[in-house]
Amino acid sequence: MSTNKPKFFKSWRPEQGIFYTCDVALATSAAPTYFEPHLMESIGGDTKGETYKLLDGGTAVNDPSHCLTVEAKKNFGASCKLKIVSLGTGDLNDALPFEGLRRAGILS
């Protein structure tokens, strides 16, 4: 939040910091308007003791699987084969009426 840059967590790059998994999960799901930003501290690596104020990754990268694809191809070669599994959050069974949602945004 303070640098306006995304923070990527890479287990193979411990010099960028070592973090508790629960902190990473809370930070990456801290979607504005739903959850508060997450304050966390690096517990190891070159950044040990540094604190980070983080929001949901979707605020910086709309499709994080693209970042994964680029990183995998960089580390394993352009011809590496990937399978990405996307787990949804449920099904939408009923149609959403335009008029009913027209002014349903947070600013309204």
The pLDDT profile of the chain, 108 residues, written as one tens digit per residue, is 778 888 888 888 888 889 999 999 999 888 888 889 999 999 998 899 999 999 988 888 888 888 889 999 999 999 999 998 877 766 777 777 788 777 776 655
Q: Which residues touch 51 (CB under 8 Å, ≥6 apart)? A: 39, 40, 41, 42
